[in-house]
Amino acid sequence: MYSQIDSNKRNSVILMMIFIIIIIGIGYGLEFIWGDGSFVFVWGAVIFSLLMTSISYFTGDKIALASTGAKEIIKEDNAYLYRIVENLCITAGQPTPKVYIIEDMAINAFATGRKPEISSIAVTRGAIEKLANEELEGVIAHELSHIKNYDIRFMMLVAVLVGSIALISDIFIRSQFYGGRDRENKSHPVFLVIGILLAILSPLIAELIKLAISRKREYLADASASLLTRYPEGLARALEKISLENQPMQKSSNATAHLFISSPFSGKKISNLFSTHPPIADRIKKLREMM
């Protein structure tokens, strides 16, 4: 379990470094075309991206919960679910998050919040009714691990980098057509091709890296959940039941898909390259190797 956690943390850092290299590369391209002072525009794009992401950072949890129709509960509303969350938090030594139920019969759950003290966990009605006690514990432990590992905060940083790359790429291609100190140089067909390629490929590459990081964090949360419950088989069985379902969630969107324990678009064929989650069969295999 510890090896899996260390491996996923290391790989996530490597992917973040690739992000930074891409941003530096685009910035260097702008400097090469525009000459001295062009980094003013680069930093402007980065600051704008940071500003927009900060707004999402502080309000994203409320938006995610509202978009799925999640309703907050107290212990008296569903003592069974609330006590599982409470007991696992005591074991993990972390604050108990707010607990929500999503009235949807698909088996799924997600956590949100930028730190353990300000966090929420939402579980579908289907997960509560269809999963055995140990299976539901595994699912909740997975989501609590996202909170404890600061995965939500980490993914917000990734979102900043993706947004920055998209904005800088847009500036790059616009520089080919609009004013500047060296218009003849900027209008050269070679630089125009470079600008177009960067504008098209950089955001795509950044999005693929973001999805790759999201998949790595899922493996890390699986390993952390197994460490918390000391019973990887519980989560493995829950994932098996999810894999057998062909029932997408009623309220799901690409913006919140990465938050869930499994893709809310169940039954829809999505390439692994463009998926927010690793293949369930692979996750089950890794969990059972931990036993």
Catalytic residues: 143
100 Cα distance to chain centroid: 20
Torsions phi, psi for 110 (to 5 deg): -150, 160
CA-CA distance, 214 to 198, in Å (whole number)?
Answer: 23
| Contact (Cβ atoms closer than 8 angstroms) between residue 181 and residue 34 | yes
CA distance 208 to 152: 18
The dihedrals phi and psi of 123, each to the nearest 5 degrees, come to: -125, 135
8 A C-beta contact, residue 224 and residue 283: no
Amino acid identity, residue 187? S
d(CA 140, CA 134): 10
Cβ pair 39, 258 in contact under 8 A:
no
Spatial CA neighbour of 225 closest among 110, 142, 140, 108: 142
If we measure between CA atoms, which residue out of 212, 172, 173, 167 comes closest to residue 50? 167
